A and B are shown apart, each in its own frame.
Chain A
Amino acid sequence: MTPRPFRVDRRTEEYPGAFTLHLTAIEQPAPAFSPGQFNMLYAFGAGEVAISMSGRPQQLEGTTVHTIRTRGLVTAALARLQEGEQLGVRGPFGNGWPLPEAKGRELLLIAGGLGLAPLRPVIYHLLHQPRPRAIPNFRLFYGARRPGEMLYGTELQAWSHEMPVITTVDHGDSAWSGEVGVITTPLKRADFDAHNAVAFLCGPEAMMRFSIQMLLERGMPASAIYISMERNMKCGTGLCGHCQWGPNFVCKNGPVFCFADVQNWLGIHAL
């Protein structure tokens, strides 16, 4: 599958080392996607990297949005892209968040660090549900390293007027008025019916494991917990073998998995 050219319409700096690209397809319109799916972004000559969709699922305005952290050669090349420049896009790939599972139940979104990016399309979806809302109750728990390393600061503020948003940072500063600590603390305290809730988790694998421990302690069944996994992705189509995780190809069987289906693999080191 060959990438199609997209233009960078807008580039915003989230915090040093993390940025968001707003892209428009040059040829035909970008295909629709489900929250939780990802694209392969091709930086000319440098290579491809798998990046989750973080824009609006309906592709209003025809825009594809990706939030990227500069970690290697390809992301560094993407970071250098200026507005008006082009990159290649293949996708969308993978299975997204199972929103129908949350119908009539409470939905807990639990994000850590950059893990908020793949959950943002879910938040857009939830806030724009036709009334009466199929998923009436939802809230966001968001853990980050420092107040200055949180994504989507302005939007977080705006969302907090429409839904409960609980933010916590590992290290506070004098300007920070939110919580300092780890994401498991507000999960422990939060008032929700563990037997009638669904959780979508995205963040560093260890952060997801600790959060799952807490959700299980609270009495949530494994089948109500969903996680988004990260593994090395080259093709996005299950053909190159790189993203294997036990019997799963993270690219085509995931990246979103039900914890009940993968709990045996999650505990095995270096699988």
Chain B
Amino acid sequence: MKTIAELLQQHPFFQDLPREHQEFIAGCGENCIYQPGDYLAREGAPADDFFLIRAGRVAVETFVPNHGALCLQTISGGEIFGWSWLFPPYRWTFDARALEKVHGIRLNGKCLREKCETEPALGFELMKRFARITTERLREARIQLLDLYGDKPSAGTAAP
């Protein structure tokens, strides 16, 4: 069986991170498996975790009373979910639900924050990786917002 450090090494998010840092972070993590329908996160609940998805698909959702759960985005193996643990008040903004059997690594947010504080070089490296992913997610969300395939693509306002 592989150690957490080895699993971290295999995930794109932690790839090429110095071995000692991987070992250091591994202390915050545990293996996790979710069955289809299981929630990884619930809107408004304490955001204690950061997930590395190894396999399976997760839906990021929000519940609208007269529509049910609306899926904003799906996240697949090789991607990450969750950054609400980074900043107070440490609560989830959206639901995250397993669509298939999900294999992942769950890292404790508080533990990660403390590690980052004590090891600023590691903290900066992780922040860069998060910034890159949030930038990509923002880009994707913007493209989605354009409604490119609709009759009237828009981003809320029309160009003059």
**Interface, chain A (partner B; CB < 8 A):** 71, 112-114, 143-145, 149, 168, 170-174, 176-182, 184-185, 188-189, 203-204, 206-207, 210
Contact = CB atoms under 8 A, between A and B. Distances in A.
A184 B76 CA distance: 14
Contacts of A173: 71
A180 B148 contact: no
A145 B150 contact: yes
A182 B150 CA distance: 14
B68 interface: yes
A76 to B, nearest CB: 14
Interface of B: 57, 59, 68-74, 76, 78-79, 99, 136, 139-140, 143-144, 146-151, 153
B129 to A, nearest CB: 15
Contacts of A168: 74
A113 B148 contact: yes
Contacts of B149: 112-114, 143-145, 149, 170, 203-204, 207
A227 B79 CA distance: 29
Given A204-B148, A206-B148, A181 B59 contact: no
Contacts of B151: 71
Contacts, number: 66
B99 A189 contact: no
Given A180-B59, A188-B136, A172 B148 contact: no
Contacts of B136: 188
A174 B57 contact: no
Given A113-B149, A179-B57, A207-B148, A172 B140 contact: no
A177 B99 contact: yes
A182 B144 contact: yes
Contacts of A185: 140
B143 to A, nearest CB: 5
B59 A172 contact: yes
B148 A184 contact: no
Given A188-B136, A204-B153, A145 B73 contact: no
B68 A174 contact: yes
A194 to B, nearest CB: 16
Please give me the 3 A-B residue pairs with the lowest Cβ-Cβ distance, nearest first: A113-B149, A172-B71, A145-B149
19 contacts: A144-B149, A168-B74, A171-B70, A172-B70, A174-B69, A176-B71, A179-B57, A180-B74, A181-B73, A181-B140, A182-B144, A184-B140, A188-B136, A189-B78, A203-B148, A203-B149, A204-B148, A207-B143, A207-B148
